[in-house]
Structure 1
Amino acid sequence: MIIGPLPSAANVTKRIKAMDGGFVYLLQRVFRRLPLAGGRPLLAVPAGLAITAVAFALRMALDSELPSGFPYVTFFPAVVISAVLFGLWGGISSAVLGFLLARWYFVAPVGSLSMAGGAGWAMGLYVFVVVVDIIAIHSAQVAMGSLDRERQRNRDLAESRQLLFHELQHRVGNNLQMVGSLLSLQGRRVADGPAREAVAEAARRVQLVGKIQRTLYEPEGSQRSLSVMLEELVRDIVASGSDGTVSVRMDVQHDAVIGAEQSIPVALIVGEAVSNALEHGFTPGEGGTITVAVAGHRLDGAGGLRITVSDDGRGLTEGFTLEGSTSLGLRIARSLAGSLGGSFVVVRADGAGGGTLATLDFPLTATA
């Protein structure tokens, strides 16, 4: 017979803890459904009496096997079971019937309900024990019910807060999109060419901020990871800014969840790079691919990220430099990168395909 390797003590401990946790969870689920007849005495009382009748029959069957002095040996468990399963009235009905049966059949003098002498002390002990049991069980059930109601109230509040947060994000994004559309309409009425282009650029950036607002958080309110946010943003920009011939490819080697103070400037920079690629990199109808890559990057000895936006379009013009560029969007992107403590560069992509490569390097904050 071949015996495999024995599990380590740590694995055994983990399995035992998992079994214990599952057992506790199962008990919690069972006890949350109790009592079965809560608030319904017409069901609880007969159930308690029936359980006590079974306990009495069992006590009579064991009478010849038990020594004297055990009159309540089956009645105490009956009271506890009745109180647990059927609540306060179940426990009380079981206790009363058990009191009468124990006194009449098993406490001397048998066949009497008199409390004189030792019978009073014996029955007093019975009353004390069952009252303590019923109060303890009823208090625990009331506390469990209050806890469940509080949990449900918290779940309702969380759902309401999530709905309100999602609605707020949606409305803010819509309002920004509307402002961008109004600027765009107004720009069409401007006769001066440079002024019209400036208004159009402002409209595009406001709409970009609206898109960022929509992609910044998950529907339940948690901060999205950078790669998820950028992928949705980039695909939205490409879908609305191209004729459908430009595709998007994401290459995520390192991901992080960063705060809004970093994610908004990063999204603005990436959005500007993608919009610039759509506007200047591709000839209408020919199409191509925009690749957004996210990777880890050491910056001044600290942890950071490198985000690159590359395309296989026609590339930059000869002699292009970011410092000498007259593009307001690229100057804004460079300024935002500086505010992040990083850098933003745009160069001609290497390789036969040509194209443009925009690179953003920035350090991660302590909260990232």
Structure 2
Amino acid sequence: MLEGSLSAALLSHGEWFRKRPAIAYATAILAFAIALAVRFVLNDVLPAGFPYLTFFPAVLLTAFFCGTGPGVVVAILSILSAWYWFIPPFGGFALDTQSAIAVLFFVAILAADILIIHVMNVALRRLVAEQQRTTALLDQQKALFEELQHRTANNMAFISALLSMHKRRVRGTPDAVSAFEDASTRLDSMARIHRRLYDPTNIDLAIDAYLGDLLRDVFQSAGSPDIEIVVESSVARLGVNRLITLSLILSELATNAVKHAFPGGSGRFVVSLAQVGADYVLTTSDTGPGFPEGFDPAGSDRLGFRVLSSFARTLDGTLSFTNKDGAVTTLTFPAADPRATNTAA
């Protein structure tokens, strides 16, 4: 990022000169005059063999900032000045073999430097232009994504309003009211998960912190804010798709706990996510009465357990239900996402 900003700043200064040729060539003449004056000042200090010392930086800086043309002008003036004043025989353009080799070497070095700077400037301009295009595309993608999230949220709110309207129409049918309430609750859960997963402030949020915030939302919206939540995770990251499914499972389990384990609105809900061998294991437990004696949740025809089973299959996982000082639910699923592996292949 710093290198890109520096490149853009240097190119910006260079473009300012290139768009003003008169200033660029005037700057070139000024740079040559300063280099010549400094060379005269250092003439008695420098040992023999350094006729071009102060001209090199003038040529390089002028070619970089003012362009190839001004750089060539400074190079020509520098060659003639060094030839006339600082290469023996002094005060003329006569050359012996050694002096001719020195002048030709200077010309070759300056030509190579100016060519390299010209190629570098062209590459730098292309790089900055590409960075600007990339930034524009990212801004456009971000705007489209935000619009998509906004429309999705509006659609969910609209569906929720429809469910509420239909629930009022079937007030005299308890089973229908319960079905609409369950659908509305699951839709609210999906909306919460959607908001949290695509909130830019949650990009670097650890899984345990994310799941803890999600559960607090679930219990708060269910009118049970006093439930103690404990989340422990040794898993650092999960893919977005698997995290969505895991969030839906936890939301469903938390909603069931509010209904059956915490009728008084208080208790303790513990979540643990860890890797065991080649699998991830998610365990949830509550301090409620547990599952009824002889009740098999896996074979239940209740919608909640069917939903949980469906989500578990999405993760290629299995669910188990036990009692241990309350209801304990365990989800085991592969640590390696087979869908991601198949896509990569």
Give the TM-score band, short-chain normalised: 0.7 to 0.9
Whether contact under 8 Å (1:82, 1:91) holds in the other structure is yes
Amino acid in the other structure paired with 1:246 = I
Q: Distance in 1 between matches of 2:315 and 2:57?
A: 70
TM-score (norm 1): 0.73
Deviation at 1:169, TM superposition (A): 3.1
1:240 to 203, 221, 225: 221
SS of the aligned residue for 2:307 comes to: helix
Which sits farther off after the overlay, 76-85 or 238-247? 76-85
Deviations 1:132-186 (A, max 9, x none): 4323312312321221231232133223323422442343244224313321321
Whether contact under 8 Å (2:211, 2:231) holds in the other structure is no
1:358 to 315, 318, 329: 329
Cα pair distance change 1:220/1:132, threshold 3 Å = farther
**More helix per residue:** 2
Unaligned runs of 5+ in 2: none
Deviations 1:20-68 (A, max 9, x none): xxxxx9888666543645324454434433332343244444379655x
Deviation at 1:275, TM superposition (A): 0.4
Cα pair distance change 1:323/1:114, threshold 3 Å = closer
Match of 1:309 in 2: 284
SS of the aligned residue for 1:276 comes to: helix
SS of the aligned residue for 2:297 comes to: coil
Whether contact under 8 Å (1:83, 1:90) holds in the other structure is yes
Which sits farther off after the overlay, 205-214 or 136-145? 205-214
Q: Distance in 2 between matches of 1:64 and 1:329?
A: 92
Aligned residue runs from structure 1 range 53-68, under 5 A: 53-60=33-40, 61-62=42-43
Q: Would you say 1:45 and 2:16 are equivalent positions?
A: no
Match of 2:272 in 1: 293
Deviation at 1:305, TM superposition (A): 1.4
Give the share of equivalent positions with the same residue, in percent. Answer: 32
Cα pair distance change 1:159/1:227, threshold 3 Å = farther
Q: Distance in 2 between matches of 1:215 and 1:70?
A: 68
Q: Distance in 2 between matches of 1:346 and 1:26?
A: 54
Q: Would you say 1:219 and 2:200 are equivalent positions?
A: yes
SS of the aligned residue for 1:282 comes to: coil
Whether contact under 8 Å (2:207, 2:236) holds in the other structure is yes
Q: Would you say 1:345 and 2:320 are equivalent positions?
A: yes
SS of the aligned residue for 1:250 comes to: strand
Amino acid in the other structure paired with 1:195 = A
Match of 1:181 in 2: 161
1:251 to 219, 232, 236: 232
Deviations 1:308-356 (A, max 9, x none): 2222234444443314544211122124324533222333332xxxx32
Whether contact under 8 Å (2:298, 2:305) holds in the other structure is no
Cα pair distance change 1:270/1:243, threshold 3 Å = closer
Amino acid in the other structure paired with 1:363 = P
Q: Distance in 2 between matches of 1:99 and 1:47?
A: 18
Deviation at 1:240, TM superposition (A): 0.9
Q: Would you say 1:34 and 2:10 are equivalent positions?
A: yes
Whether contact under 8 Å (1:180, 1:204) holds in the other structure is no
SS of the aligned residue for 1:251 comes to: strand
Cα pair distance change 1:33/1:193, threshold 3 Å = closer
Which sits farther off after the overlay, 127-136 or 171-180? 127-136
TM-score (norm 2): 0.77
Amino acid in the other structure paired with 1:341 = D
Whether contact under 8 Å (1:344, 1:360) holds in the other structure is yes
Cα pair distance change 1:220/1:43, threshold 3 Å = farther
Deviation at 1:363, TM superposition (A): 1.8
Q: Distance in 2 between matches of 1:26 and 1:267?
A: 38
Q: Distance in 2 between matches of 1:304 and 1:170?
A: 36
Which sits farther off after the overlay, 51-60 or 249-258? 51-60
C-alpha RMSD over aligned residues: 3.9
Deviation at 1:241, TM superposition (A): 1.0
Give the length in aligned residue pairs: 332
Q: Would you say 1:283 and 2:263 are equivalent positions?
A: yes
Amino acid in the other structure paired with 2:320 = V
SS of the aligned residue for 2:25 comes to: helix
Q: Would you say 1:272 and 2:252 are equivalent positions?
A: yes
Whether contact under 8 Å (1:48, 1:94) holds in the other structure is yes
Which sits farther off after the overlay, 148-157 or 319-328? 319-328
Amino acid in the other structure paired with 1:183 = L
